[in-house]
Amino acid sequence: MEPSHLSHLDERGAARMVDVAGRSATDRSATAEGFLRMAPTTLALVLDGAAPKGDVLAVARVAAIQGAKRTAELIPLCHPLPLAGVRVTIEPAVDGSGLRLEASARTTAPTGVEMEALTAVQVGLLTLYDMLKAADPAMTIGPVRLLEKHGGRHGSWRHPEAPTTRETPGETAPPAAGAPDG
C-alpha cells in the first residue's frame, strides 16, 4: 500500500494520529478471537478448575476487559474511546488443542473499535499464559485475528475465514455499560 493510503501516515510518510474531529459519532462494534495452544494435561487443569493459581478463566476475562479499556494507552496512535460494552468468552478450542478467547467491543464514536477487541484478546491470552506457565511453559499464543466489524464509513466487514456458526451482529453486541461482565 502507498503511504498516502495508510491513514496513520501523512503525505511524507510520517506517523500521525488521524484527525476524527469532523466525523459523526456512530454505533460501532468489533469482534476478535485468539488461541492459546497447550498440552492436554494443562487444558484439563483449567477445565477442572484445578490450576495452581485459581480460577484462571475469571482472571483472564477481567484482564481482557481491562485491556480493551486501556487500548489507547498501549497503542500509540489509537484514540481513547468511550466503550459501551465489552464481552469476553473463553472456551476450549474446537480441536481440543487449548483455549479460544473471543472479545467483542462496542462504542458510539467517530472511529472504530477494532483495536479494543484485538487488545482485549491479546491481554486475555497473555494473562492465561502467565497463570499457566508453571504447568506448561511451551504454550503458544495465536493466531489472533479480527473476525468482524460493524459501523463507520466502511460499514460491515467479516473475515473470510470466520466461523460460519456465529450469531448475527445484533445478537453478538456486548451488553450495555454497567452490565455484569462489562
Query: What is the reported pTM?
Result: 0.82
Vertex 99: Cα angle to 96 and 82 (nearest 5)? 150
Q: What is the pLDDT along the chain (182 residues), one digit of tens a residue?
A: 444 466 666 677 776 666 666 777 889 999 999 999 999 999 999 999 999 888 999 999 999 999 999 999 999 888 899 999 999 999 999 999 999 999 999 999 988 899 999 999 999 999 999 999 999 999 999 999 999 999 988 889 999 999 875 543 333 344 433 333 44
- Centre a 10 Å sphere on the Cβ of residue 155 and count the other Cβ atoms it contains: 8
Residue 130 annotated as catalytic:
yes
Catalytic residue chosen out of the listed positions 27, 48, 55, 130: 130
Contact call for residues 151 and 127 (beta carbons, < 8 A): no
- Structural domains of the chain, with CATH: 24-151 (3.30.70.640)
d(CA 161, CA 18): 29
